[in-house]
């Protein structure tokens, strides 16, 4: 028996007109799937309603993959694929397996010779980099920086130094309710001439993207508290 296909399905980054974010061909591709691996079933069902799901939601199998899922559970998650069914791996927001649970599952799928098909949709990291005007040839995504003040300050200084020596854009994120403290730490620890892009609420109606020097940001501190944001830094 041939195995099924694992579709990697990007989801909107927030409430928006889905026709702007998910191409029609992608919506058609996934509308008839009856097996999904998701972070949160409730938001997954909302997404499936938006795309015009063919099957009644109660007939769709949803298995959970989140930050608490242990690697030993991946075999069970992939079982329907090995039995010939297609599965959609659905991110909570943005692209699956990129700053998001799922990379280990995708790797195991490759090891088992399962076809993996990434679908087109929003990636907040790439959208932020595209719109920043910073170096798109050399960049590194670091995920979350340390929470503790001294460790975070040290890491920010390291990133700025690496950016200068390697002509490289440094990209990182924070839990939205800690955004403001991270921004204040960047402005306190970085050189005045370092460029900082803040890309907030990407693809949403209140999207905010701006690249300025640290010195300029000190005079125009934005309110990004509790708003999903990407930070990009280049010395």
What residue ranges define each of the domains in the chain, with the CATH number in brackets?
A: 5-118 (3.40.1010.10), 124-234 (3.30.950.10)
DSSP 164-210: HHHT-EEEEE--GGGHHHHHHHHHHHS-TT-EEEEEESTTSTT-EEE
Could you report the per-residue pLDDT of 59-72, keeping only the tens digit for each? 899 999 988 999 99
Exposure of 231 in the CB half-sphere (CA atoms within 13 A): 31
pLDDT band (50, 70, 90) for residue 88: very high
Average pLDDT estimate for 23-33? 89
Query: Which pLDDT score is estimated for 110?
Result: 97
Q: How far apart are CA 51 and CA 32, in angstroms?
A: 10
Could you report the per-residue pLDDT of 101-122, keeping only the tens digit for each? 899 999 999 999 999 999 999 9
Give the range among 27-41, 134-148, 161-175 with minimum mean pLDDT: 27-41
**Contacts of 216 by beta carbon, 8 Å cutoff, 6+ apart:** none
Could you report the per-residue pLDDT of 198-216, keeping only the tens digit for each? 999 999 999 999 999 999 9
- With a cut of 80, say whether residue 180 has pLDDT above it: yes
Query: Which pLDDT score is estimated for 157?
Result: 97
- With a cut of 70, say whether residue 192 has pLDDT above it: yes
Contact between 156 and 202 under an 8 Å Cβ cutoff? The reply is: no
Query: Which pLDDT score is estimated for 216?
Result: 97
Q: How far apart are CA 146 and CA 139, in angstroms?
A: 20
Exposure of 109 in the CB half-sphere (CA atoms within 13 A): 26
Average pLDDT estimate for 155-177? 96
Query: Which pLDDT score is estimated for 99?
Result: 84
Please report how the helices 149-166 and 179-189 are oriented relative to each other, as an axis angle in degrees rounded to 10.
60
- With a cut of 70, say whether residue 1 has pLDDT above it: no
Could you report the per-residue pLDDT of 38-61, keeping only the tens digit for each? 999 999 999 998 888 888 888 899
pTM of the model: 0.88
High-pLDDT (> 70) share of the chain, %: 100
């Amino acid at each position: 028996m041939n195995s099924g296909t694992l579709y990697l399905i990007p989801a909107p980054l927030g409430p928006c007109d889905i026709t702007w974010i998910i191409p029609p061909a992608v919506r058609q591709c996934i509308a008839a799937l009856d097996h999904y691996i998701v972070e949160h079933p409730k938001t997954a069902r909302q997404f499936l309603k938006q795309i015009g799901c063919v099957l009644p939601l109660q007939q769709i199998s949803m298995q959970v993959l989140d930050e608490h899922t242990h690697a030993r559970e991946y075999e069970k998650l992939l079982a329907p694929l090995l039995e010939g069914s297609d599965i959609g791996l659905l991110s909570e927001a943005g692209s699956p397996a990129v700053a998001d649970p799922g990379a280990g599952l995708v790797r195991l799928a490759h090891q088992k010779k399962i076809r993996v098909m990434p679908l087109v949709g929003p990636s907040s990291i790439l959208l932020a980099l595209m719109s920043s005007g910073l170096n798109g040839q050399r960049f590194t995504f670091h995920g979350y920086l340390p929470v503790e003040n001294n460790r975070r300050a040290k890491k920010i200084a390291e990133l700025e130094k690496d950016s200068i020596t390697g002509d490289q854009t440094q990209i990182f994120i924070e839990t939205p309710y800690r955004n403001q403290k991270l921004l204040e730490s960047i402005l306190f620890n970085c050189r005045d001439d370092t460029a900082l892009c803040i890309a907030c609420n990407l693809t949403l109606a209140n999207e905010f993207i701006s690249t300025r020097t640290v010195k300029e940001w000190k005079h125009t501190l934005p309110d990004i508290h509790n708003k999903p944001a990407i930070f990009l830094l280049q010395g």
